[in-house]
């Protein structure tokens, strides 16, 4: 039986458009989005954005112990002799301003060559990679004395590519916080760790009856070897590039990484809208994802049991065996206060990290400017905007992206007409049953939805921003382009079945969607 899924570091990244001539599902029966947007509860007014920048980039709340002593990421990088070129190929971003002067000077010369070991020795020397981690120049990998942790920036920052861009993969330049690094191969990086088995709860596991949920044909177990775990993580068919499995639920459900700018416009938080407040969402990330060993604390066990029942208990029992077998001790590592009731939104594991830092982080990610939209044909954009309105896209989405998205969730049977789930286990009200439908679109929502707070099983609306950079669509990476998303060839029952019949209309709508931004005076560009 599938167990627990937690707050996603993602919102559904799709563009919901509905053609009058090809209407395939009921509308949401609400007034246009531009007239109903309400400000989400981000608590940013009580935080300091400048202090929040340091939280975003460098705060780990003690979870560096998990990544160094349990997952053993830095040890694995050294054993694999990971180089800067290897990291760039995996989509990693490097902060040029944090680089030691000698490394920066060497790169300026070597990046002009063919990047071979003979002509670019620094780029291909594992010692250089180690030095850049210690210098805090590897964006999102944070040195903490002898330990190394991860911060929000790993999955939610890019660079301006001012020094180097490896063909749409990794880059070197000045930090830009907030946008998604779409080419980041998270699975490959996790597979580099010396003890990736410590990520057990976020792997695709085999259930007691032999079944498994995810892209891989077979699930992993407590006795799976490090090589077997690494094979799963490093296979892009199972763990797609640009995605991250942020649900300790035993299901293989990596979802596309969402941007983290202008969070004052986005609510509720998570694909399934399970968190009304951004600080609650982020606290869950720190206390249950960045230190998964905390799920074995009394509060963590209670949380898992309430949402996952006997299946959750069994998963944690296996996880304890994995940590024991791999010599992991001294956990949990997260630095947090024991407060509140386990399972409640502010304290899902019965713990809460520093409150002021959570609020500072809220303020920072709310102030981060969204990238400018891309306009190559103004007339085509204007035509697309008219189609966006006339085809009822505004039933759900704003035309003015400086306004908050509507907080209403879109029911699963509307966003996915072929959604016919099988109930796997019942749960105590108000929680909905644990249920699964064929395909990958609902895998994120098998356990996690808004029902703990009395909501429905559905999807939160996304920010329609920075779409020109986005290579794939829908949170499960199942649609290869915006044009394909709007093409009726996907079928009436497909996820997000809102289409434009003609190729010309689709071209105009795509041009419009790629042009969207929050306007010239919206947001604060914050980069070093």
What CATH number is attached to the domain comprising 397?
Answer: 1.10.760
Which parts of the chain register pLDDT below 70? 1-45, 520-528
Say whether both 485 and 386 belong to one domain.
Answer: yes
**């990291």: which residue's tokens?**
87
Say whether both 330 and 203 belong to one domain.
Answer: yes
Say whether both 131 and 221 belong to one domain.
Answer: no
Say whether both 91 and 215 belong to one domain.
Answer: no
Residue 113 is assigned to a structural domain of this protein: yes
Q: What is the pLDDT of residue 58?
A: 98
CA distance 430 to 436: 18
Residue 329 is assigned to a structural domain of this protein: yes
Say whether both 225 and 321 belong to one domain.
Answer: yes
> What is the secondary structure of 111-123 as a DSSP string?
TTTT--TTT-TTT
Residue 18 is assigned to a structural domain of this protein: no
Q: What stretches of 178-297 show up as alpha helix (H) in DSSP?
A: 186-192, 226-233, 278-284
Instruction: Say if CB 8 and CB 251 are below 8 A apart.
Output: no
Say whether both 322 and 413 belong to one domain.
Answer: no
Residue 488 is assigned to a structural domain of this protein: yes
Say whether both 168 and 227 belong to one domain.
Answer: no
- Contacts of residue 279, defined as CB under 8 A and 6 or more positions apart, other chains included, come to 42, 43, 346, 355, 358, 359, 361, 362
Q: What is the pLDDT of residue 450?
A: 85
Our separate counts of H helices and E strands in the chain read 15, 15
A 10 A CB-CB count for 423 gives: 10
Residue 51 is assigned to a structural domain of this protein: no
Query: In the listed set 367, 400, 425, which residue is the last one of a domain according to the structure?
Result: 367
Domain that holds residue 222: 187-367
Residue 459 is assigned to a structural domain of this protein: yes
Say whether both 89 and 171 belong to one domain.
Answer: yes
A 10 A CB-CB count for 75 gives: 16
Residue 260 is assigned to a structural domain of this protein: yes
Distance of alpha carbon 441 from its chain centroid, rounded? 15
CA distance 248 to 448: 11
Instruction: Say if CB 102 and CB 132 are below 8 A apart.
Output: no
For the CA atoms of the chain, what is the radius of gyration? 22
Residue 518 corresponds to which tokens in the numbers above? 């929050």
Query: In the listed set 340, 367, 394, which residue is the last one of a domain according to the structure?
Result: 367
H or E element, residue 301: helix 298-325
Distances in Å between the Cα of 2 and the Cα atoms of 203, 213, 219, 244, 249 are 12, 8, 12, 18, 7
Closest CA to 427 of 315, 301, 312: 312
CA distance 318 to 201: 9
CA distance 340 to 31: 38
Residue 352 is assigned to a structural domain of this protein: yes
Give residue 477's region: left, alpha or beta (phi > 0; psi -120 to 50): left
Residues 308-334: tens digit of each pLDDT: 999 999 999 999 999 999 999 999 999
Name the 3-class secondary structure at 187: helix
Say whether both 197 and 273 belong to one domain.
Answer: yes
Length of the chain: 528
Say whether both 361 and 453 belong to one domain.
Answer: no
Does this model's pTM top 0.85? yes
Name the 3-class secondary structure at 286: helix
Say whether both 221 and 358 belong to one domain.
Answer: yes
Name the 3-class secondary structure at 411: strand
Query: In the listed set 346, 367, 388, which residue is the last one of a domain according to the structure?
Result: 367
Q: What is the pLDDT of residue 3?
A: 34
> What is the secondary structure of 21-87 as a DSSP string?
GG--S-------GGGT----B--GGGS-HHHHHHHHHH--TTTHHIIIIIS-HHHHHHHTT--HHHH
Asked whether the CA dihedral 406, 511, 477, 55 is positive or negative, the reply is: negative
Say whether both 331 and 192 belong to one domain.
Answer: yes
Count the domains in the chain: 3
């Amino acid at each position: 039986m599938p167990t627990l899924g937690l707050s996603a570091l993602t919102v559904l990244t799709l563009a919901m458009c509905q053609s009058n001539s090809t209407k395939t599902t009921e509308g949401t029966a609400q007034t246009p989005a531009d007239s109903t947007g309400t400000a989400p509860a981000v608590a940013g007014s009580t935080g300091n954005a400048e202090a929040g920048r340091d939280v975003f980039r460098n705060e780990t709340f003690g979870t560096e112990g998990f990544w160094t002593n349990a997952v053993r990421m830095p040890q694995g990088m050294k054993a694999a002799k990971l180089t800067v070129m290897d990291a760039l190929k995996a989509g990693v971003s490097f902060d040029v301003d944090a680089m030691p002067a000698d490394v920066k000077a060497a790169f300026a010369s070597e990046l002009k060559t063919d990047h071979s070991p003979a002509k670019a020795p620094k780029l291909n020397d594992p010692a250089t990679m180690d030095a850049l981690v210690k210098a805090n120049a590897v964006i999102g990998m944070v040195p903490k004395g002898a330990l190394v942790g991860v911060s929000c920036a790993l999955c939610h920052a890019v660079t301006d590519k001012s020094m180097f861009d490896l063909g749409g993969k990794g880059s070197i330049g000045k930090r830009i916080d907030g946008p998604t690094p779409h080419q980041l191969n998270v699975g490959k990086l996790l597979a580099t760790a010396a003890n990736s088995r410590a990520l057990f709860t976020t792997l695709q596991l085999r259930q007691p009856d032999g079944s498994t949920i995810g892209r891989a044909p077979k699930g992993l177990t407590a006795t799976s070897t490090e090589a077997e775990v690494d094979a799963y993580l490093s296979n892009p068919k199972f763990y797609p590039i640009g995605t991250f499995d942020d649900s300790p639920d035993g299901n293989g459900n990596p979802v596309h990484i969402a941007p983290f700018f202008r969070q004052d416009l986005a609510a509720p938080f998570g694909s399934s809208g399970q968190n009304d407040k951004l600080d609650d969402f982020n606290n869950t990330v720190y206390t249950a994802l960045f230190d998964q060993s905390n799920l074995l604390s009394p509060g963590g066990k209670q949380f898992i049991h309430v949402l996952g029942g006997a299946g959750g208990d069994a998963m944690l029992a296996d996880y304890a065996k994995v940590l024991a077998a791999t010599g992991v001790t001294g956990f949990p590592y997260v630095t947090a206060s024991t407060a509140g009731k386990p399972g409640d939104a502010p304290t899902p594991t019965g713990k809460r990290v520093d409150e002021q830092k959570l609020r500072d982080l809220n303020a920072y990610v709310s102030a981060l400017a969204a990238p400018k939209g891309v306009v190559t044909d103004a007339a085509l954009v204007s035509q697309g905007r008219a189609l966006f309105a006339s085809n009822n896209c505004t039933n759900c989405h704003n035309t003015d992206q400086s306004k908050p998205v509507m907080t209403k969730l879109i029911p699963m049977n509307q966003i996915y007409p072929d959604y016919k789930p099988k109930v796997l286990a019942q749960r105590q009200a108000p929680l909905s049953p644990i249920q699964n439908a064929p395909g990958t679109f609902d895998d994120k929502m098998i356990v996690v939805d808004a029902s703990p707070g009395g909501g429905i099983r559905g999807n939160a609306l996304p920010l329609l921003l920075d779409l020109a950079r986005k290579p794939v669509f829908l949170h499960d990476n199942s649609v290869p382009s915006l044009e394909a998303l709007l093409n009726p060839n996907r079928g009436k029952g497909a996820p997000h079945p809102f289409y434009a019949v003609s190729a010309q209309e689709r071209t105009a709508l795509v041009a419009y969607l790629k042009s969207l931004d929050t306007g010239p005076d919206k947001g604060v560009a914050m980069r070093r």
